[in-house]
Structure 1
Amino acid sequence: MTKIFGAESTTDEVLDGIDLTGKRILVTGVSAGLGVETARALMAHGAHVVGAARDLDKARVATAGLDAAAAGGATLELVELDLASLASVRACADALVADGRPFDVIIANAGVMACPQSQTQDGFETQFGTNHLGHFVVVNRIASLLKPGGRLVNLSSAGHRFADVDLDDPNFERTPYDEWVAYGRSKTANILFAVEFDRRHRGAGIRATALHPGAIQTELSRYMTPEATERLIAAINDTQRAAGAPLFNYKSIPQGAATSVWAAVVASADDIGGRYCEDCHVAEIQDGAGIRGGVRPYALDPDHAKALWAKSEEMVGERF
């Protein structure tokens, strides 16, 4: 019988009975929070994890205890990846391709949220450049390493509901900057990237999905003041009450990483391919105002996904 998981499921519960011995999985953002927990859980079930991080010293400290929990000969290999620098992204991808060892899964976990207006080293708006374009380049450059039956798992967010992508002004050159609009654009882009990557690779047995891990207190919210956090939670709860839905509640880190490992190695590939997931299930399309759950239609639109892919290639100066 298929096990049913939900918002309170943890990584250990989701992976109970799963043997990942011999699997090789890339996880970005292994210097804190969800990335470290994702790596720990996968290693505890035998997977070899390649952990990517901008700050390798920080990642070494954050992952220092993971070997002790590893099973079945699982290992952790750290690689340097600064998603806000295409030079770093390309160097990382080139090194992985030169190494030649294949991957079973890529989990694009790293990201930034609601930061002040700034630019990446290549002049892109920081959230779109880091959360989307950095992953777009590294994933596409190493796509040949994904085994048939492999998967791409993009961490998006319910924050995709804040904004659709703006293909005419992705860097806020003509639009007043708003940190939540920028975050929403980047998280919508994460979903659309998965939609188009899935379309392009499903013929080879490779599938892609995107997901919302839930609200978790991690370093991702480093730019938010306590007052801003309180205002955001209050606004969410107002809409939840109006919809007769449960009030806001933080997930633990093991609960937050559960949907990542579920989508990566537990869920049916046909169920999640080209879709958006939350709380360890495929989300429904929701277009009503004030609904926190579900996915906006624009984030799954296949033509929109193709247009974003073309715009992304134009921006990074590379065709895939």
Structure 2
Amino acid sequence: MPFLQPKVTPLPPGIDLTGKSAVVTGASAGLGLETARQLLTLNLTTLILAVRNESKGATCIKNLLQDPAIKSKKPTIKVLKLDVNDNNCITTFSKTLPQTLPTLDILILNAGISRLKHNPSPSGHEESVQVNYLSNALLLAELLPYLNASAEKTGSPTRITWLGSRMHQTMTSFPKKSPLDTCDSVLEYMDGGDTVSPLYRYADSKVLCAMFMYSLAPRLDASKIMLNMVCPGMVDTAISDFLPIYWRLPVNLVKAVRARSVEAGGWLIVNAAVVAGPESHGRFLEDKEVLEVSKYIRSEAGKNVQEKLWEETMDELKKLTTLPREFE
């Protein structure tokens, strides 16, 4: 990838989301909040901010409704608590959402973290594995019957856009150190404190996400659910604030030269969620372009890891929920 990112063009004119509903996870700041804002400017009727901090979410609603581009549209905006580092909270959210919204048109899986330090989640898994991968898999498993039913009621596919990272192609440890060569389990490899280098942890978690999408999409009825994954590139958000100062300074310097604005990043997410056509189902979008499956994932070793990951993930999810038929 070139150092300078290609210019991002705005969304095409004429998008009208009147009568549509959307859920954005991790919507209290950064790309999640900007994506929510852009959807509302496109006449979205109902928006759910799925956030960990409900008080912060309430402040976001107040600010959104004061935005001149949104205020006159008078949308309905609500907050639902969703802590993606808490399986019980995910289950509660999944039961509450259908009671709050009869149907859902757009689901944007934005919530995620990037960490250098190995940190166990309350679930017992490494935190980035839990937050970036397993929580989204659980959320999809629990919501899938509702999403299918929504499509049947509205007559249009429910659209799911999951934020990924193109780093899963270039910055992963998997091709160099196959999980199945070093551990009996893919998740065991990812959970280990000394098996994954801190520099690879984020990208490796995004490999899991991409593999899961590639496994799940063919099992879905595309006339009811359209699933894609998008990378908005390097965006000027606070995601690097967790870094120690000796890393944060050079990263922030690179961001100052290279990063896209949050608005431009939001254009790419909204493009994947409402503009991209059926050709994007089960595919990874780099900016607005559909990419070929990464060289590693389509290799024999990658296929083996993807198959094993699906089996292990289903075993994990069975402990937490009843799997829909697409997951069996």
Could you say whether these structures have the same fold, taking a TM-score greater than 0.5 normalized by the shorter chain as the test?
yes
The yes-or-no answer on 1:66 pairing with 2:54 is no
The yes-or-no answer on 1:156 pairing with 2:155 is no
Give, in whole Å, the separation in 1 of the partners of 2:307 and 2:43: 36
Q: Which residue of 2 aligns with 1:253?
A: 262
Unaligned runs of 5+ in 1: 1-5, 238-246, 288-294
Pair 1:285–1:199, CA change in 2 (3 A): closer
- Contact 1:28–1:107 (CA under 8 A) maintained in structure 2: yes
Q: Give the superposition deviation at 1:123.
A: 0.9
Q: Give the superposition deviation at 1:109.
A: 0.3
Give, in whole Å, the separation in 2 of the partners of 1:43 and 1:230: 35
Of 288, 309, 320, which residue of structure 2 is paired with 1:280? 288
Pair 1:46–1:222, CA change in 2 (3 A): same
Q: Which residue of 1 aligns with 2:183?
A: none
Q: Which residue of 1 aligns with 2:242?
A: 223
- Contact 2:233–2:287 (CA under 8 A) maintained in structure 1: yes
Of 29, 39, 44, which residue of structure 2 is paired with 1:42? 39
- Contact 2:211–2:297 (CA under 8 A) maintained in structure 1: no
Q: With structure 1 as the length reference, what TM-score do the two structures score?
A: 0.81
Q: Which residue of 1 aligns with 2:200?
A: 181
Q: Which residue of 1 aligns with 2:182?
A: none
Pair 1:36–1:224, CA change in 2 (3 A): same
Task: Indicate the SS of the match to 2:27.
Answer: coil
Give, in whole Å, the separation in 1 of the partners of 2:40 and 2:110: 16
Give, in whole Å, the separation in 1 of the partners of 2:56 and 2:49: 12
Give, in whole Å, the separation in 2 of the partners of 1:198 and 1:153: 12
Q: Give the superposition deviation at 1:226.
A: 4.7
Percent identity, aligned pairs only, is 24
Give, in whole Å, the separation in 2 of the partners of 1:145 and 1:157: 27
Q: Which letter does structure 2 place at the counterpart of 1:190?
A: C
The yes-or-no answer on 1:143 pairing with 2:140 is no
Worse-superposed segment, 156-165 or 80-89: 156-165
Q: Following superposition of structure 1 onto structure 2, how do residues 1-320 of structure 1 map, counting pairs within 5 Å?
A: 7-9=6-8, 13-14=10-11, 16-47=13-44, 48-68=46-66, 69-70=69-70, 72-99=73-100, 101-146=102-147, 147=151, 148-160=156-168, 161-163=170-172, 164=174, 166=179, 167=186, 169-173=188-192, 175-229=194-248, 249-268=258-277, 270-285=278-293, 287=295, 297=298, 304-316=305-317, 317=319, 318=321, 319-320=323-324
1:134-181 CA-to-partner distances (Å, cap 9, x unmatched) read 111112211222224122111011221322494152443374343332
Q: Which letter does structure 2 place at the counterpart of 1:113?
A: S
Give, in whole Å, the separation in 2 of the partners of 1:171 and 1:304: 12
Q: With structure 2 as the length reference, what TM-score do the two structures score?
A: 0.79
Pair 1:7–1:59, CA change in 2 (3 A): farther
Give, in whole Å, the separation in 2 of the partners of 1:296 and 1:14: 31
Q: Give the superposition deviation at 1:43.
A: 0.7
Pair 1:209–1:89, CA change in 2 (3 A): same
- Contact 1:113–1:220 (CA under 8 A) maintained in structure 2: yes
- Contact 1:153–1:263 (CA under 8 A) maintained in structure 2: yes
Q: Which letter does structure 1 place at the counterpart of 2:50?
A: A
- Contact 1:115–1:127 (CA under 8 A) maintained in structure 2: no
Q: Which residue of 2 aligns with 1:243?
A: none
Q: Which letter does structure 2 place at the counterpart of 1:224?
A: L
- Contact 2:49–2:78 (CA under 8 A) maintained in structure 1: yes
Give, in whole Å, the separation in 2 of the partners of 1:203 and 1:22: 22
Unaligned runs of 5+ in 2: 180-185
- Contact 2:129–2:191 (CA under 8 A) maintained in structure 1: no
Give, in whole Å, the separation in 2 of the partners of 1:230 and 1:7: 24
- Contact 1:89–1:138 (CA under 8 A) maintained in structure 2: yes
Pair 1:43–1:100, CA change in 2 (3 A): closer
Question: Paired residues, what number?
Answer: 293
Task: Indicate the SS of the match to 2:273.
Answer: helix
C-alpha RMSD over aligned residues: 2.9
Q: Give the superposition deviation at 1:115.
A: 4.0
Task: Indicate the SS of the match to 1:154.
Answer: strand
1:93-123 CA-to-partner distances (Å, cap 9, x unmatched) read 1111344511112110010002421111111
Worse-superposed segment, 92-101 or 207-216: 92-101
